[in-house]
Structure 1
């Protein structure tokens, strides 16, 4: 069993990961390009006490010709509306300069007072490559090698300002100590960046980096670079075996396995009862197309989800879960705000007053 409390987060993807989720009466599909839709979903997760929210992004479009809002911009909009939840937008490095990614995530870390992260992604879609017209399509190995260089640039830029570089010395008129700013002088196959950053070192120093281990190349990068490694598995036994292999690979890479969190994706649909959850999935599948699970799937109640988290920890299957709602608004409506009092948190009701009881 893991020595630290299990993490619980959510990935918010459109109206949900089921392709027919937009057809539900509560989908709010017409609001997808409004700030209100995303703020409602993110603040619901924040109020429910979730540890983090992943915000996926892509340069591609769906069948209707629409793509998502920029994930970093959505996270920035949610910064002031949230209090505790970590905001982890996805930023694709294939067509984005690492200098810009570094500045954007650092700024988000300031906006959230140290609650920002970055999920690294690549773009293998030739159609997306054509949108930019700057390079030829790349294979998976090349894409993740480029991502490795991008991470190196971004993390060096975050460190290019020392923590005490801002001296704000009114007497001498010096705002910064130039000796505490550093050139990064990175020369790689894909990037040449001198630095330093134009943004001071983020509040966290190095905002956590997440990578989904979905291929040999992405897994290789994850074990060397990621603070959060996302995995998919058919069941908890498969997840436990994969976690064990990843921890061994992290150790072989010269890192401490307990400093890397391995998160299991769980496709989820919450309802008042398990039967209701299954019936609602049947309706989604009837609208079509039905999609087989890509990882562990939970259809049922919030209590059942808590039991799954407990089983996951006991099986050493993951250090936490990333919930992927089949239908986002339905998921948000089913979230229960955690109890505020200690008695409620440990399952005790508020006792009646003994003297009031005696008085009848």
Structure 2
């Protein structure tokens, strides 16, 4: 739980919502993923509700195969705006909400990332955040002169050094380095310039960054690592971690593990915020919330549903959709037998048809699902918040912008009634509103 007893809330805005059939919903602009007006409208709704930040996940390619044939043509995740370009536009058209986007350490250079996020932090007045990821798919590799992705260990080794270089570049100048004294003709104080001159295994970067130190000192660093390498990186340098636990115990285990790692890096528990993702279907009554969910479930195209099962169960397109789930195919791609067996166990225990199973798997892109009234969902959130499982939540609405309207109309008022969420922004920067310590310049 945060120091001030208030939850932090972020809004994940990728695609048109976190339901695979979001784009088919009558209220959703089907072309919204390429519409700045769509994203601006949603971001302003989140800002009016005093959310801490909006977040754009990203991949450097279409990370999907056309299995079964025809499924990819029915997937909305094929065309979207480049997120840093979008953040720059939002920075100029919003006033207080934080702006976070993904940038890969695998197919970028540190100088590029340091300069772009520093610029967004300046343009926005201190509201930028970098979600640090490695690129894992072969589809992305094939867009950058490679036939397959880097090995796991290599990706994270590069990422560790990449983040260090970016932070050093952000520290090229002290806060008051640029004196801009017209009378004397002195533009900057040479004593306050620090050239990184980094020489490492993956990068040789002299610097300095051609940007002043930013309003936040450094943009907020966000990370989403569940692996051992990801946890080490988060404990060392992240300010916020997005997590994906589905039950209280596993969320508490993850929370405790990350928080305990901080001391080894001279950090305190409040220096890192952990924000699990949730997909909330909320309405005035439980039945109305269930109806919202059921409506979207019926919009899942069979090929989209079968594609959601393909990686674990193989090609089920030759079986009756309303018939029983067969044993996983020996020809299924990859080696994901444990997931396949778990799915089969659920299907057998609950007597699910293929359609019912794919509806369950495809509905939220794997993020935790909550359905109910504002009180129902707030109960779940409060339990996690008060019992060391979360410092806040990354809200992943099933559809946009209507999903954000539901947060404003139902959930946020209930959280405020319980004293769990702000009624106004406390500061002018993302770091301040998150309750994080100021980033003070330190000489290396």
> TM-score scaled to structure 2, two decimals?
0.72
Matches of 1:301 and 1:28, distance apart in 2: 26
Q: Which has the higher contact order (CA 8 A, sep 6+)?
A: 2
CA spacing shift, 1:295–1:15, aligned 2, 3 Å: closer
1:276 partnered with 2:348: no
Counterpart of 1:139? 151
Counterpart of 1:357? none
Matches of 1:273 and 1:191, distance apart in 2: 56
Counterpart of 2:400? 328
2:228 alignment partner, one of 216, 222, 234 = 216
Decide whether the 8 Å contact of 2:238 with 2:272 is kept in 1: yes
Q: Which runs of 4+ in 1 moved over 6 A?
A: 342-346
State the Cα distance separating 1:295 from its structure 2 match.
Answer: 4.1
Unaligned runs of 5+ in 1: 347-360
1:150 partnered with 2:151: no
- SS where residue 102 of structure 1 aligns? helix
1:112 partnered with 2:112: no
Counterpart of 2:98? 86
Q: Which has the higher strand share?
A: 1
Give the length in aligned residue pairs. Answer: 344
Can you list the C-alpha shifts for 1:71-120, whole angstroms capped at 9, x where unaligned?
11111111132222111111112111111111111111111111111111
State the Cα distance separating 1:132 from its structure 2 match.
Answer: 1.4
Counterpart of 2:134? 122
CA spacing shift, 1:102–1:136, aligned 2, 3 Å: same
1:238 partnered with 2:310: no
The more displaced of 248-257 and 67-76 is 248-257
State the Cα distance separating 1:291 from its structure 2 match.
Answer: 4.5
2:386 alignment partner, one of 310, 314, 322 = 314
CA spacing shift, 1:343–1:16, aligned 2, 3 Å: closer
1:296-307 equivalences under 5 Å are: 296-307=368-379
Counterpart of 1:41? 42
1:57-76 equivalences under 5 Å are: 57-61=58-62, 63-64=72-73, 66-76=78-88
Unaligned runs of 5+ in 2: 65-71, 306-358, 421-444
The more displaced of 250-259 and 80-89 is 250-259
Counterpart of 1:53? 54
Matches of 2:3 and 2:417, distance apart in 1: 25
1:347-358 equivalences under 5 Å are: none
The more displaced of 305-314 and 187-196 is 305-314
1:20 partnered with 2:29: no
Counterpart of 1:286? 298
> TM-score scaled to structure 1, two decimals?
0.88
- The RMSD of aligned alpha carbons is 2.4
Matches of 2:380 and 2:417, distance apart in 1: 23
Can you list the C-alpha shifts for 1:237-270, whole angstroms capped at 9, x where unaligned?
3212220111112223432222111111112223
- SS where residue 128 of structure 2 aligns? coil
Decide whether the 8 Å contact of 2:16 with 2:32 is kept in 1: no
